[in-house]
Structure 1
Amino acid sequence: MTPYIDGFVFPVPRDRLGTYRRLAEAVAGIWKEHGALEYQEYVADDLHLDGTRSFAELVAAGEDEAIVFGWVAFDSREARDRANARVAADPRMAELVDSMETGFDARRMAYGGFRPLVGSST
């Protein structure tokens, strides 16, 4: 099996970050039930490096928005495809998203699936 990840970045209104965190914690469990090996989300702390474009610019974030970056790890792309289909069909996902006003807007999310290129572990 070749490891595979889905990566994503998007803005969330700062005043709804606590609510979004509760949503993400619930969603992480659902992803793992459907085959994800790992589910991680981080909130931006330092987005500036001279000569580069920031994630905030990438998703056109406003001053009142926090940037969330995350990934979901799978055994393979095939395992990812199966998990994505199962998660999309899981009624808990829609219920969770509909029940919480997080300010998340998928149209502003940058997303992609990634295969390994270089890896280094401690």
Structure 2
Amino acid sequence: MIYIDGLVIPVKAGTDSAGYARFAEAIAPIFKDHGATRIVEGWADDVPDGKVTDFRRAVQAADDETVVLSWIEWPDKATRDAGMALVREDPRMVPAGAAMPIDGARMIFGGFQAVLDV
């Protein structure tokens, strides 16, 4: 069954969905080259404030920032573990002089074993 990396990512002020999509499109092939089968990026559209917590508070998003929900699908955990190690070492991950539209320090991420895939 597939293995999933789930991410909630704060997007810096001044970045619109098209700008974020360009960034994501530039790095998606790196994950695919190292074994990922699918990458999905979701721009916040209906993300309400919660009573206890919510997506925005989870990443400490400022009022002028937004959040992205992203997931990366892998065939299995072994492929993900090997692929993510290669992604971290891939020089294409941080193009020289490229401004990152996200704050990686506040990003939440984790790996998940699929229990249902319908």
TM-score, normalising length: structure 2: 0.88
For the pair 1:11 / 2:10, whether they are aligned, the reply is yes
Q: How does 1:25-104 map to 2 (within 5 A)?
A: 25-48=25-48, 53-95=53-95, 98-104=96-102
Summarize deviations over 1:6-43 as a string: whole Å, max 9, x none. Answer: 00002112412343321110111111111100011111
> Cα RMSD over matched residues?
1.8
Deviation at 1:52, TM superposition (A): 5.8
Distance 1:11 1:49, change over 3 A: closer
Q: Unmatched 5+ residue regions in structure 1?
A: none
Task: Return the structure number with greater helix share.
Answer: 1
Moved over 4 A (4+): 49-52
**Whole-Å separation in 2 of the counterparts to 1:70 and 1:99:** 24
Q: Paired residue for 1:105?
A: 103
TM-score, normalising length: structure 1: 0.85
**Whole-Å separation in 2 of the counterparts to 1:48 and 1:16:** 20
Count residues with an aligned counterpart.
117
One-letter code of the match for 1:13? K
**Whole-Å separation in 2 of the counterparts to 1:104 and 1:51:** 26
The alignment partner of 1:118 has SS state of: coil
Deviation at 1:78, TM superposition (A): 0.4
One-letter code of the match for 1:71? W
Q: Identity over aligned residues, as a percent?
A: 37
Q: Unmatched 5+ residue regions in structure 2?
A: none
